[in-house]
Amino acid sequence: MRFQSSLIDVSDQDTGRMKKPFNKQAMAIRLTLAALVLLTLYAFATFDYKDIQLVDAVISTSHTVKTMFFQPLFKHISLLGAVEHLVITLGLAFLTTLFGAIIALVLGLLAANNLSNPKLSLAIKGGVAFIRAVPTVLWVLIFAVAAGLGSVAAVIGMTFHSVSYLVKTYSESFEELDEGVIEALKSSGANWVQIVCQAVLPSSITYLISWTFMRFEINFAVALAMGAAAGAGGIGYDMFMASTYYYDVREIGAITYLILAFAILLELIAGRIKKKLRHQG
């Protein structure tokens, strides 16, 4: 028995040392990586540095980062004003997430394969996939043609993209429900609304909350950019002014710390809500 076990160990070691077969897929991956390496080297070799000294650039960047994060200071806006503008950005993200979640909940139920017609499900998923492929900023600019630059275009554009994101996540959460539960409810005479209210939503509520909060965090980050790009205001506009108009890196650092503290607070709140829902479930 010992001799057989030793033979098995030796054969296992030899098998582990054997190289994987070299097939077309492995060759394609290696050629792609080699091409990327060559393109990167070519880009660095042919890039127009315009007489920039690398050492001086690194020193200057280090000094800027040190000033930004170790000497933060609100100069052109007060701390209270920054908090007020941050609340405006938060409200923009909250509205877009709320509108998007309500619309996506209905469309997500219609897009789930186990709850809807296959053709309708395919049509909805194809539509939201197209919307998701277009960046949020572009949707905001498209709606700005009709509504003008401002918070209205930002809310509509961000809501449009939020719906497409949440429909995908919601429908996938609904499709994970056991088919036996749905069949049991149908055999007992339950209609579509009763199946959704008594089985689908209760079993998927934690996933819905998690995906909604994740989209809220994304919308909060997008709202910062829309404050400058679409004229929506908020703390994003203040950061844009501090970086391009005043070029005050200390104020940029102060705004960054404020946004970071607020993002951590949102994450803690989301964690508490999800933990409470798990205990109730």
pLDDT value of position 8 = 47
- Between 22 and 184, the more confident residue is 184
Per residue in 57-104, pLDDT tens?
888 889 888 888 888 888 888 888 888 888 888 888 899 999 999 999
Q: Report pLDDT for 79.
A: 86
Least confident span in 42-46, 117-121, 251-255: 42-46
Q: How many other C-beta atoms can be found within 10 angstroms of the C-beta atom of residue 74?
A: 18
Q: Residue 97: which H helix or E strand, with range?
A: helix 79-111
- The per-residue pLDDT for range 139-189, each reduced to its tens digit, is 888 887 777 777 788 888 889 889 999 999 999 888 888 778 888 888 887
Distance set, CA 247 to CA 52, 134, 240, 243 (Å):
21, 32, 9, 5
Closest alpha carbon to 104 in 199, 207, 208, 203: 208
b (16+ CB within 10 A) / e for 186-220: eeeebeeeebbeebbeebbebbbbbbbbebbbbbb
Lowest mean pLDDT among 14-28, 44-58, 211-225, 236-250: 14-28
For residue 108, CA distances in Å to 35, 50, 184 come to: 41, 52, 22
- Does position 10 have pLDDT exceeding 50, yes or no? no
Question: Which residue is it, tokens 């499709």?
Answer: 175
Token pair belonging to 150: 């401002």
Residue 77's pLDDT is 85
Residue in this structure with the two tokens 């309708």, named with its chain if needed? 120
- The set of residues, in sequence order, having a beta carbon less than 8 Å from that of 259 and lying 6+ positions away, is 86, 224, 235
Choice between 16 and 181, residue whose per-residue pLDDT is larger: 181
Q: Please, which pLDDT band fits residue 38 given cuts at 50, 70 and 90?
A: very high
Q: What is the structure's pLDDT at 203?
A: 84
Region 106-119: mean pLDDT is 88
Q: Tell me the domains of the chain and their CATH numbers.
A: 2-47 (no CATH), 69-280 (1.10.3720.10)
Give the global pTM.
Answer: 0.74
pLDDT one-digit tens code per residue, 220-271? 888 888 877 666 678 888 888 888 888 888 998 999 999 899 888 888 887 7
State residue 197 phi and psi, 5-degree precision: -75, -35
| Dist. CA 154–CA 277, nearest whole Å | 32
* Exposure on the CB side of residue 62, measured as CA atoms within 13 A: 6
pLDDT of residue 7: 45
Buried b (16+ CB within 10 A) or exposed e, 98-116: ebbbebbbebbbbbbebbb
Predicted pLDDT at 35: 93
